[in-house]
Structure 1
Amino acid sequence: MDHPQSARRIRAYMNPYGVTRLHLRNPWVIAFFSFSFPGFGHLLLERYLPAIILAGWEIFINTKANVNSGILYSLLGDFDKAKEVLDSKWLLLYVGIYMFTIWDSYRKTVDLNKQYILADREDAWMPHMRISALDINYMDKRNPLLALVWSVLAPGLGHLYVHKIVTGFLVFAFTVALIFQSHLLPAIHQTFVGDFEGARALLDMQWTLYLPSMYSFIFYDAYVTAVEDNVLFEKEQSQFLRTQYQHPSFPIPEQDR
């Protein structure tokens, strides 16, 4: 049975598939991930529905407008080719939502930081364990480096380690789709056998350029989630011990000076 919640705001919501938590975030970091891949900033804020909508829109409209191909040719200095591949009919539709995504993720981070400060000051109650027929979730100490290592080995494994099931499924599905569309694995095989020209010919750069942003997000989010899980675990333990074991009139011994 849940502990009665007297605080106006909550610091965390737990279900068997993950923990949605408030904690202090750097708005510029969130805005950067929205800049690198629209939807990722909202995913870092654990706003899953807007993140799915924006990330899906990014892949659709970016592919239609050939934005990544235009970026590639611009970086290579071939501006005429960049203008040729860009589809202006779709590009103009892309810009407005892209700017909104960055602005909204920054604004929402500032707002949620304020909510966290108020919730922390109110000493809001936090859940410890949730059980369902499909899964079990509980607060525990987790190693951030292990979360990072598992994410390096395979996208999504680090998120499964920190019990962030929804995000783990999303990043795994997105990454597999992007790797397949970019022909990355055949290109890696050709590289290993020394056929560098064949590898370059196989790669579809329109899809390949999604992958640096994807992997940066996966590594960062898995590591930070493990760190914040540990902070939340310590706060919940402290709150439990204060409310259940420490008598209000318990004398605190003075420290020797």
Structure 2
Amino acid sequence: MTENPQARRYRAHLSQFTTSILQKKNPWVVAFFAFSYPGFGHLLLHRYIAGFILILWETFINDMANVNLGILFTLTGDFTKAKEVMDERWLMLYVGIYMFGIWDSYRTTVDLNKQYILADHEDASISPTTMGAWDINFMDKRKPWVAVSWSALFPGLGHLYIHKVISGFFIFAYTVAIMYFGHIPEGIQFTMLGKFSEAKKVVDMQWLIYLPSIYFFILYDAYQSTVEYNLLFEKEMKKFLRENYQKKKFIFPF
């Protein structure tokens, strides 16, 4: 929620379920995550609807075209098998949306960086607490390593720690689905028992290959979001102290 109705731009918006903020980001970093997994670049920018749609589309079209299997066989040098498993009818539909996700992530980051500079200059007030029937959200300083640790334990938990409830539960449910369809828990169990041949048989590589991109993204996003929220908390506190505790006649030393 925001306090000043006259402000043109705001650095952040607190809702019951998440905190959306404007913060300068490297467009190439955002584009890289969009390249590694369509939709992740948009999640970094707090564009949840576009991000979720692109992620679900990636799951559908990738599975229909067997893109992950094609990547697997290509990396192992079996190019003939890679050609056989991939479905060209669906692959043609994959490329356009994939390239759009990368381009749109880069373009939006550049535009939002400009908006951040203007919003930071305007320095509009931000309500540090939002309370509703479903949840309570408030600005606070949290530890980045705690968010990373919970994310490493299971994707989504680190986001819940920093109150990114929308993306946290989505990533949590999405990872559960990936692990279920890929038979990954069974593969982990056989691996821990030393039955590596059984693990290879039971695991579906088409689904397993999703996990590295997911884990890399959630670790980075949990850490980076915590740092950004901490900076936002400090800026709001500094503004409050300047406006309420500093005497108007105070002479700054030069």
Find the aligned partners of 2:174 and 2:44 in 1 and give their Cα distance: 15
Q: CA deviation at 1:117?
A: 0.6
For residues 43 and 231 of structure 1, the distance between their equivalents in structure 2, rounded to whole angstroms, comes to 19
Corresponding residue SS for 1:147:
helix
Q: Any conservation in 2 of the 1:61–1:94 contact (CA below 8 Å)? A: yes
Superposed CA deviations along residues 99-148 of structure 1, whole A, max 9, x for unmatched, are 00000000000100110011001112222000011211111000000000
Q: Deviations over 1:43-78 (max 9, x none)?
A: 111100001111010000000000000000000000
Determine if contact 2:65/2:86 at 8 Å carries over to the other structure.
Answer: yes
How far does residue 7 in structure 1 lie from its aligned partner after superposition? 2.5
* Equivalent position of 1:140 in the other structure: 140
Q: Is the partner of 2:151 in helix, strand or coil?
A: helix
TM-score where L is the length of structure 2: 0.97
C-alpha distance in 1, partners of 2:91/2:4? Answer: 52
- Displacement, 1:253? 4.2
Q: What SS class does the counterpart of residue 126 from structure 2 fall into?
A: coil
Take 2:127 and 2:18, find their aligned partners in 1: how far apart are those partners?
A: 12
- Give 1:17 shift: 1.1
Q: Measure the CA separation in 2 of the matches of 1:176 and 1:113.
A: 34
Partner of 2:238, secondary structure, is: helix
Q: 2:2 touches 2:13 (CA, 8 Å); kept in 1?
A: no
Other-structure match for 1:101: 101
Which structure 2 residues correspond to residues 14-93 of structure 1 after superposition, within 5 A?
A: 14-93=14-93
Query: Aligned residues, how many?
Result: 254
- The residue aligned with 1:240 is 240
Query: Could you tell me how far apart the structure 2 residues matched to 1:75 and 1:2 are?
Result: 50
Give TM-score scaled by structure 1 length.
0.96
Aligned to 1:212: 212
Deviations 1:155-196 (A, max 9, x none): 211111101100101100110000111111101111111111
* 1:249 partner SS: coil
Q: Distance in 2 between matches of 1:183 and 1:218?
A: 21
Tell me how far 1:217 sits from its aligned partner: 1.0
2:197 corresponds in structure 1 to 197
Q: What are the ranges of 5 or more consecutive residues in structure 2 without an aligned counterpart?
A: none
Give 1:151's aligned residue: 151
Partner of 2:252: 252
Q: What root-mean-square deviation, in Å, do the aligned CA atoms of Structure 1 and Structure 2 show? A: 1.2
CA distance in 2, matches of 1:153, 1:54: 25
Letter in 2 for 1:54: L
Say whether the 8 Å CA contact 2:2–2:126 is kept in structure 1: no
Gaps of 5+ in 1: none
Paired with 2:123 and 2:30, the residues of 1 have a C-alpha distance of 26
- 4+ runs of 1 displaced by more than 4 Å? none
1:241 to partner: Cα distance: 1.1
